[in-house]
Structure 1
Amino acid sequence: MAAKRFFSVLCVLLSIQLSYAQYSPSKLKTLDSALTILHQRASFSGVVLVAENGKTVYKKALGIANLALQEPLKTTSSFNLASVSKQFMAMMVMMLKEKGKLQFDDKVQQHLPDFPYEKISIRHLLTHTSGLPEYFELAQKHNNTLDTLTNEKLLQLLKTHQPNLEFGVGEKWEYNNTGYVILASVIEKAAGMPIEDFFKQQITRPLGMNDTYIYCLRMKQSPVNRVMGYQRKNGRNVPNDLIRLDGVVGDGNVYSSVEDLLKWDQALYTQKLVSAATWQEAITPVKFNNGQTHPYGFAWFIENDGKVLSHTGSWVGFFNEIIRNIEKKQTIIILSNSTDATVRKVVKDVLAGNVLKLPKTELISNIKLIDGSGTASRPAAVRLRDDKIWEVGDLVPFPNEPVTEGKGMTLAPGFIDSHSHHFGGLEEHPDGIAALNQGITTIVTGQDGGSTPMDTIQSFFKKRPVAINVATYTGHSTLRAKAMGAKSLYRTAKPEEVEKMKNLLRDEMNKGSLGLATGLEYESAFFSNRDEVLTLAKVAAELGGRYMSHIRSEDINLDEAIDEIIEIGQQTKMPVQISHIKIAKRDQWGNALALLGKLQKARAQGVNITADCYPYDFWNSTLRVLFPNRDYTNSASAEFAVTQLCDPEKSVVVRFAPNKDYAGKTLSQIATLRQEKPAQTLMALIAQAADFEERNPDYEGGIEAIMGKSMDESDIADFLSWSHTNICSDGAWRGHPRGHGAFTRVLGTYVRDKKIMPLETAIHKMTGLTAEHLGMTDRGIVQSGYYADLVLLNPETVKDNANIQNSTALSSGIEKVWVNGQLVYESQKTTGKFPGVFIKRQ
């Protein structure tokens, strides 16, 4: 009976407590579940407290306070508040103002004569309107690693070096830690005692805040209940606590617990510390010199016309937040020590009734990791978190965590195709299977001088989700067509047209284009002069871009074409890359090493020149490209084409709109059908194609194309092996088999069978090296913080199956592919997920 009576009373009390609570029991239950899951997934160590009307309705501690001792956290554990500390500095300034020791508009020099900026006032420091530079770089630049920074040393650094202000005093708001360190020195001077003593005397002791104090590295002894910061790295917790800058006080290094911070919160509703008028000044938006305001007062962000006050704090391992809803008398206090800010958003989303999105993790275990850096493979496991790689090492699954069993196969970064034409097929094939089946997760378009505008690609991604990532260069020929007109490309550009091209390129670069790409061997750009190209390249360089080129000649004028791209690299100082490097003239075969020597010499002279290469001895282009001098009716040139620039018996016409029966036949076979010599047939086909184009101006799709056999196998091996060559496909959704098999051909034919390089080197050339050549800093390596583009492959079975007869045959040995953390390809099938993104220049 007594137990029943107690239970009834408890229910009544609980219902009374929740009757005034605006946070429903279901929200608090969801919050508790969310925090538990975050902790189980190693994404939260800390304490959360929620209060209404000054009464705690929820509090929970999860995690450890001290790595070495493995002490559990408690709700009385004292965390470094980081920037939440600033509100205590502001309060002490307000108290000193009420004691007549200072005024908010006093110039700092009145209290600290060594302070070198005469216009800056105490109010400017309080409101982040001083323009002072952050002290971190100043201290790192002028102090050595054994020198712990203190408030006094910072003041001397400012006096000695007098760094320029970031903006005029009082002109704008910019968050600034230096100002609050200087404020701490002002407080000490005005109070006439160490700041920690004044803090205890005026705030912590009167409010009964027994877990709250100031601690920094200039103090000899660390308090017993001080929570230590840590960080999870590759499955292990490592210290992430105070550093040599932490001899200062003011911008951080106040410690407190959630219990004490609730006392602090409640005291701010009273006049125990300062008068209502002084407090009102603290929560009034700062006013600039021009009369405009910013929603920040004295160490409080101000929202909803002052109805909500808040502040975050982030330093070393600590990520904290305090939120005070003045109107609803609600308080949220979040203290964490695991270098993870996720909890802040989760708590606010749950309590606001927003859709809860917890981090999703997945473990890929039992794999041989080739991380894309070129280093040796190693046994490991890799953990994904949402769209990024989180951990790499000896990892065990979290409770209920999805696990992919790697079965001892090789896990590598997703391959990056630096020269791709797959984008044109994404509308029809958003699953990206042509790329994914060979392990490609990112394609780079805009090649050979033709590109899609940045805005168009951006719009495409909004309308049409796809499975792979896309980045782009801006095409030179596209710029020429816009500036000169599509029918006026067979001449050099006029100065005013070049100026228009420069403006168009500048606009595309500002929107995130990787740089300028040229296709100088093609008619749309062939008639441009070197000065035009160099002028545009300089624009790309000025905006931090890169230059990539299908050079002006790959056969009779190869040396001059190489000289041109080297000159562009010399004059612009930006990285330059040769697209699909090759030697296409028969009597020059075997000279790959000499060509690479020339490139290596240029690199030694400071030119950052690189190349990409595909693993085939035949190319795919138009029939017209076989006439370097564009003299399509010259029989001598036609004879030269079929003896030096292609082998007519192995060169296949893959598309010919005037006579579709020719598609799939070699040039020699067509010549036999026509009872002509191959040279005559070549001229005839070009003439027929031109006539067809004139009579069918709206014909969709290419009119003619040929796969020309014109490279030597030993040259290809040498080009692939050069340490500055990355792999590309130059492929599309149909046509040349490279569109479905270039990368797997390298892994199967050139690595496993011909053994021209180790597997680790080949994968480096498909991932980390490619990312470096493109300026991508968060893809191409399996490392924490990089995007989770990954491929699981079997080195023993990986191979290309696409050929001229069946150019879309899927590769073998690519077992699984992830793009931005989502599985998009498995067992030669796509999964129907479309996580691809448009990557802009970084």
Structure 2
Amino acid sequence: MLITGGRIVDGSGAPWYRADIAINDGKIVAIGDLAERPAKQTIDAGDRVVSPGFIDMMGGSTLPLLVDPDSALSKLHQGVTTLLVGELTTEAPHNDETFPAGLTVDGDQVKWRTYKEYFALLEQHKIPLNAVHNIGAAQVRLVVLGNEDRPPTDDELEQMKAIVAEAMEDGVFGLATSLIYPPATYASTHELVELARVAARYNGIYLTHMRNESFRVLEALEEAINIGKEARLPVHIYHLKAAGQENWALMQKALDRIALARRNGFDVTADVYPYIRNGIFLGSFFHPRHYAQGEDAFVASLSDPAVRANLRTETESTSDWENWYRHIGNNWDNALITKAVPAKNEVYVGLSVQEAADMAGVDPWQLVFDLLQESNSLWDVRVSPKSMNEEQKIQALRAPFVSIDSDASPVNPASVSSTHPRAFGTFPRVLAKYVRDEGVLTLEEGIRKMTSLPANRLRLFDRGRISPGMAADLVIFDPEKIQDKATFTEPLLYSEGIDYSIVNGIAVIEDGSYTGNEPGRVLRARH
């Protein structure tokens, strides 16, 4: 492949320059005045930007790539060529109790226990973009302890460490936590340090959705840094935020703390998504201890009016925990419903909890309890709280150690009724809103945050930059036309302006359309 006439933004942060790019066997082989070279395929970039493919630093799960392959288009139309996944529960490991019942791929029932088996399945079925995996500490807990809120015994902790070791040997990149959700929230700092030490033996990293993202964000950040220091491995903070209006000023303090750690020689980084509404499970509005006996027991307890009354009182009156009701100003109008089951409740999607309650003619608290009970799950009703502000987004985007994530799995708009718009719009939104329209970042710095910065964090040293010898993951786009289209009222719209997404030297998006090619790879860590 030969790409001619483009403005190369090489991912390093250096100013753009004009040159041609020659690709062979999945690698960039030459850069310069190459227009006369013979090629099987020549792409005239036509003064558009040519950049490294974007790396999504928290892309949910790769399971949709197996069960619903068209879901990959939500990423590819954003220019994402590499997806990092693994935060709470992860694709592996599994036992008979944790594996989803009746999971089918192409009509065949499948089952796996280890990452080695899962990676083989991904490769057998082929994927259109690259995938990088972490092992979730919560998944390890589920396999060994179930949903129990208790510390592991010494023998159980050794089992957990052995599971982490096996996953690292299979090629995962690090240990990940999501410490506001059960059962992850039940893990002590000591437990996490012990597991992280195993990852450190394999040159891994520790990635975390911290224990608190609001009034105790600085304490949570300190815990994350201390885990990294004690276990002797780098730390990465997923989707850094200061949630709740009274906590917005803490974002700059958190960024300053990370900068101080870096000045002192400790390797810690973070990422953000470009939206002031986050996305969480509706059940997260209640204290995690209520899920200590598992989600089935919690859902069953909602049949008792006294339980509902006590949950409401606690949530309205206490704040010594990650209380998302407080973060939305005790106002259900500030929480949009983005997913609801069963089908009869999909009518509420796109409405605030208050608007949905008004439609149903009930108190919003009753609607919340009813939605959870009717879904029969902690995970199947999702909301987007308005918990952040633009100032903290700008502060984070300008920090040199902050990369970009979507915090969303691949999504097929034909298969779901709604989602958070970040699933479709994250990367074009940064380039449209914060680079082109508002000038918060230069084009070169915006691209760096999507390419070489995350590549370096993941030690993908053959990706994230345009240079001879590097993997040919590339995107071509017009910086004046690139635009996210997904909104909270219409979240299932592909972004516009990515004309080409090239993965390992093969076009997956060509002239804005999917080619059907599946050149993606499972990228295994090199321990």
Q: TM-score when scaled to structure 1? A: 0.54
- Mapped to 1, the partners of 2:265 and 2:369 lie a distance apart of 44
Q: Distance in 1 between matches of 2:371 and 2:149?
A: 21
Can you list the C-alpha shifts for 1:661-686, whole angstroms capped at 9, x where unaligned? Answer: 33332111123235455455435544
Q: CA separation in 2, counterparts of 1:512 and 1:433?
A: 25
C-alpha distance after superposition, 1:583-625 (max 9, x if no partner): 1122111332111111112222322110011101111121122
C-alpha deviation, 1:400, in angstroms: 5.4
Residue by residue over 1:74-106, the C-alpha shift from the partner in whole angstroms, topping out at 9 and shown as x without a partner, is xxxxxxxxxxxxxxxxxxxxxxxxxxxxxxxxx
Matched, 1:764 2:404: no
CA contact (8 A) 1:505 1:536 kept: yes
- Residue 644 of structure 1 is matched in structure 2 by 327
User: How far, CA to CA, are the matches of 2:68 and 2:61 in structure 1?
Assistant: 9
Aligned pairs for 1:115-134 within 5 A: none
Length, aligned pairs only? 470
**Residue 414 of structure 1 corresponds to which residue in structure 2?**
53
SS at match of 2:485: coil
Show the 5 A alignment for 1:212-361: none
Give the letter for the 1:664 counterpart.
Answer: G
Distance 1:590 1:816 in 2: 40
Aligned match of 1:622? 281
- Say whether residues 1:705 and 2:382 are aligned partners: yes
Sequence identity percentage: 31
2:479 aligned with 1:840, yes or no? no
The match for 1:553 among 187, 205, 212 is: 212
Change (3 A) 1:541 1:417: same
Cα distance between partner residues in 1 of 2:230 and 2:515: 47
One-letter amino acid of the counterpart of residue 821, structure 1: G
Worse-superposed segment, 394-403 or 629-638: 629-638
SS in 2 for 1:816: strand
- Verify: 1:478 aligned to 2:139, yes or no: yes
CA contact (8 A) 1:638 1:683 kept: no
Aligned to 1:12: none
Task: Confirm or deny: 8 A CA contact 1:517 1:548 kept in the other structure.
Answer: yes
Alignment counterpart, residue 732 of structure 1, candidates 403, 406, 409: 409
Residues 1:440 and 2:80 aligned together: yes
Per-residue CA deviation, residues 186-235 of structure 1 (Å, 9 max, x unaligned), is xxxxxxxxxxxxxxxxxxxxxxxxxxxxxxxxxxxxxxxxxxxxxxxxxx
Task: Provide the residue aligned with 2:90 in structure 1.
Answer: 450
Mapped partners of 2:136, 2:61: distance in 1:
16
Distance 1:818 1:478, change over 3 A: same
C-alpha change, 1:377 and 1:683, in structure 2 (3 Å) is: same
**Residue 201 of structure 2: aligned partner:** 542
Q: Distance in 2 between matches of 1:601 and 1:754?
A: 28
Partners of 2:118 and 2:55 lie apart in 1 by 18
The equivalent residue for 1:720 is 397
The match for 1:798 is 482
- How far, CA to CA, are the matches of 1:621 and 1:475 in structure 2? 17
- Alignment partner, residue 271 of structure 2: 612
Q: Tell me what 1:526 maps to.
A: 185
Q: Which amino acid aligns with 1:559?
A: L
Tell me, in whole angstroms, the C-alpha distance in 2 between the residues paired with 1:546 and 1:597. 21
Aligned to 2:105: none
TM-score (norm 2): 0.85
SS of the aligned residue for 2:278 comes to strand
> Distance between the aligned counterparts of 1:645 and 1:630, measured in 2?
21
Which residue of structure 1 aligns with residue 430 of structure 2?
746
Q: CA deviation at 1:427?
A: 2.0
Which residue does the alignment assign to 1:668? 354
Name the counterpart of 1:344: none
- Decide whether aligned partners of structure 1 residues 612 and 693 sit closer, same or farther in structure 2, where only a CA change above 3 A counts: closer
Equivalent-residue separation in structure 2 for 1:782 and 1:766 (angstroms): 13
Q: Secondary structure at the match of 2:332?
A: coil
Gaps of 5+ in 1: 1-361, 695-701
Following superposition, the deviation at residue 402 of structure 1 comes to: 2.9
CA distance in 2, matches of 1:582, 1:604: 22
Shift of residue 719, structure 1, vs aligned partner: 1.2
For residue 578 of structure 1, what is the aligned residue in structure 2? 237
Once residues 656 and 498 of structure 1 are traced to their aligned partners in structure 2, the CA distance between those partners, rounded to angstroms, is: 37
Matched residues in 2 for 1:516 and 1:468: separation? 22
Alpha-carbon shift at residue 529 of structure 1 (Å): 0.8
Identify the residue that residue 104 of structure 2 maps to in structure 1. Answer: none
Name the SS for the 1:619 alignment partner.
coil
* Residues 1:764 and 1:628: Cα distance change in structure 2 (over 3 Å): farther
1:797 CA drift (Å): 0.8
Query: Which protein has greater RCO, CA pairs closer than 8 Å, 6+ apart?
Result: 2
The match for 1:511 among 170, 174, 196 is 170
Q: More displaced, 581-590 or 794-803?
A: 581-590
SS of the equivalent of 2:63 reads: helix
Provide the secondary structure at the position in 2 that maps to 1:426.
helix
Give 2:37's match in structure 1, choosing from 389, 392, 398: 398
Deviations 1:217-257 (A, max 9, x none): xxxxxxxxxxxxxxxxxxxxxxxxxxxxxxxxxxxxxxxxx
Instruction: Please say if residues 801 and 809 of structure 1, whose CA atoms lie closer than 8 Å, have aligned partners that are also in contact.
Output: yes
Instruction: Write out per-residue CA displacement over residues 313-332 of structure 1, whole angstroms, 9 at most, x where no aligned residue.
Output: xxxxxxxxxxxxxxxxxxxx
Helix, strand or coil at the partner of 2:333: coil
Seen in structure 2, the aligned counterparts of structure 1 residues 396 and 644 have a Cα distance that, compared at 3 Å, is closer
